[in-house]
Chain A
Amino acid sequence: MTGLIREIRFLSSDRAALLWLGIAVLVAALSVVMGLRETASQRAVLSELIEFDRAERAVVGELYRDWGDAAYYTFHLTYDSPSDFAFAALGQRDTSPWKHSIRALALEGQIYETDAENPVLALTGRFDFAFAANLLAPLLLILLLHDLRSRERTAGRFELLSATAAVRGSPWFARAVLRVGALTLCLIAPLWVGGLLAGTGASDLALASLIVALHLGFWWGVCAIADRFGWSSPVNLTVLIGAWLALAVIVPAAIKLSVEAAVPLPDGGDILLTQREAVNDAWDLPKSETMEPFIERHPEWADYTEVSQPFEWKWYYAFQQVGDQTVEPLSDAYREGRIERDRLAGTLAWLSPPALAERALQAIAGTGMAASLAYEQRVRDFHAELRAYYYPRLFRDETVSDASLAQRPEFGVDGALPPHPHR
């Protein structure tokens, strides 16, 4: 304990170390502020959109008094609100959609649309806490630890310090612990402040802090191994930064390439073309060719498949559904491929602690690929609900009534699809 106090006093007079720690606090605080700003703006966008969407649906509901038209013209907003920890790891939210407007037409033609932000900005990536903690902090730790011993060696103090220490290895261990601990604190303190502001649960914050600490612990280990070789400070630093480059950049890039080679995805273009052909060919086919595969999926409407007119809404929506059914194998393969890629990436991420830590923080925040896929699934489920709502009305040729419209499913309402699905 006295050793720790001694080293705290020592650290507090080491200007270089204080500089690195100061940068850590600054970077972490900035990242938290940026993350909070971004999630606040996403929430604001969503609440505005939800209002707009509701108002718009009310207007459209007045305009069309025919279930076919109503289903055709009414868009339904779906969305994935940021979780209360999303500020710390924005993850996929800048490239993958978190809001989607869909209608009861063929889903495959709609679900891959992206309402993405400015691509130039999305490309660079966000300055969130995960970035600060997983990519910047290891570099700062390296700067803090790389010359722990080598500096003393250069100054000729190494033997004196070791010979003087009452406990073997005493100043080194205490110094390293202190620096790792101080850096961890410098990162975590802003995170906790941000968490309090965002209303994050203490268990999430504690878990995230543990991840940050474990990740830094790993880099401490790397620094300690490099220390064994007794290189000079510059060589030490060069080698350690090389290790960072390898583990934080090259290994993830290699993992990405191998995952993509190992799990090929059907081409997106093929999905779109197949889907469109299936939907449009139906116009020129005998109606029965649409209704038969439809009935296979929905036997409950078998008694209503009689289509006498060249155009009938129920037939129109039936071929929309059949279009989705036709492309299902491709679409399933595409989705399963992405799930498999994500799973494989998760396993291989053990080769790159920064990637692993990033994925772990994204998992807590519900902003990872898995969450994005889960959102897509919720959109699909909601679309299925919409169909389940419209089909009886279309097939039984009911008239539109306000009472009936009031029963129309709304995303995130009626308990079926909670807006916070992550935990």
Chain B
Amino acid sequence: MPVLSAQALSVVRSRQQVLKDVSFSIPQGEVHALLGGNGAGKSTTLLTFLGFLAPASGSVHVQGRDVHENLAAARRAIAYLPESATLYGHLSAYENLRYFLSLAGTDTDRDELDAALDRVALQPEARGMRMQTYSKGMRQKVAIALAILRDTPILLLDEPTSGLDPVAIDEFNRLARDLAEAGRTILLVTHDVYGACHVADRIDLLQSGVLVGAFDRPPGMDRIDTEAVHAAFAKHAAA
């Protein structure tokens, strides 16, 4: 049974059809990337899985259950990282994490927080400072740490690497793969072809709300062929 699946999903936002007949499914322990340009419908897909948007037709399922019939269960299973996540500027990284984790109903001690922040490589001296002093990349790292700490079977990540420097992007890719190998299912959306090829088991190419291509990581290879994806992306973007 796939952990996440969309079946013939269509979504209409302010009278515009943003997703049209999109279907895919993600088995447990896989990293799945939705790749597309601006306005392709990537974030819409994530918001539909979270139940913020309702399908005009078709359905989305989390762990085999329809999201819109089991909203609370779906959200409990998912950790979500919004695009350019802004946590509270007047709180420190620790305080923000504690606040959001308590909101999610989990209790976390300082060591666990530090362990997660270590995994995203946030420098220890910054962790107690108010986040309004952080750079964009540092904020993103805290947000990723939050998604990890939620300890949910599913991660939905919206542009997780935006604002990160190349070293940090590599670290993130490694982290995502580790999490997948530990059994977590990850759906991330991005417009970064190179990053997607390195991290994903499968890439779905989304263009103007329609799936226009799919690329699987060949068995035994450590990444998807960047050239092929790039060519397909460019071709559909031009069309």
Contacts and interface: CB of A to CB of B under 8 A. Distances in A.
A and B touch in the complex (CB under 8 A): yes
Interface of A: 2-3, 6, 9-10, 13-15, 155-157, 159-168, 170-171
B52 A162 contact: yes
A171 B52 contact: no
Contact of B103 (A155, A156, A159, A164): A164
B90 A14 contact: yes
Nearest to A9: B99
B230 interface: no
5 contacts: A157-B86, A159-B52, A161-B103, A163-B75, A164-B104
Given A166-B103, A166-B104, A170-B103, A159 B76 contact: no
Nearest to B81: A160
Given A163-B75, A163-B78, A168-B71, A156 B84 contact: yes
A159 B71 contact: no
Interface residues of B, number: 28
Given A159-B82, A165-B75, A166-B76, 19 more contacts: A6-B99, A10-B99, A13-B91, A156-B86, A157-B86, A157-B87, A157-B88, A159-B50, A160-B80, A160-B82, A161-B100, A162-B50, A162-B75, A163-B78, A164-B100, A165-B103, A165-B104, A166-B104, A167-B72
B140 to A, nearest CB: 13
B47 interface: yes
B103 A13 contact: no
Contact of A160 (B85, B90, B105): B85
Contacts of B102: 2-3, 6
Contacts of A14: 90
Contacts, number: 64
A156 B104 contact: no
A15 B90 contact: yes
B191 interface: no
A155 B104 contact: no
A369 B83 CA distance: 60
B80 A164 contact: yes
A126 to B, nearest CB: 39
A172 B87 CA distance: 16
B16 to A, nearest CB: 18
Interface in B69-123: 71-72, 75-76, 78-88, 90-91, 95, 99-100, 102-105
Contacts of A160: 80-82, 85, 100
Most buried by B among A3, A14, A165, A170: A165
Most buried by B among A9, A159, A167: A159
Nearest to A10: B99
Contacts of A165: 75, 103-104
Contacts of B99: 6, 9-10
A9 B98 CA distance: 11
A162 B100 CA distance: 10
A15 B88 CA distance: 13
Contact of A13 (B79, B90, B104): B90
Contacts of B184: none
Nearest to B89: A155
Contacts of A161: 100, 103
B150 interface: yes
Nearest to A165: B103
A93 to B, nearest CB: 46
B103 A6 contact: yes
Contacts of A159: 47, 50, 52, 80, 82
Contact of A163 (B80, B83, B90, B105): B80
Contacts of A157: 82, 85-88
A1 B91 CA distance: 22
Contacts of A166: 76, 103-105
Nearest to A6: B102
B68 to A, nearest CB: 13
Nearest to B50: A163
Nearest to B71: A168
A155 B72 CA distance: 24
A13 B86 CA distance: 17
Nearest to A15: B90
Contacts of B78: 163
A155 B88 CA distance: 9
A6 B71 CA distance: 24
Contacts of A2: 102
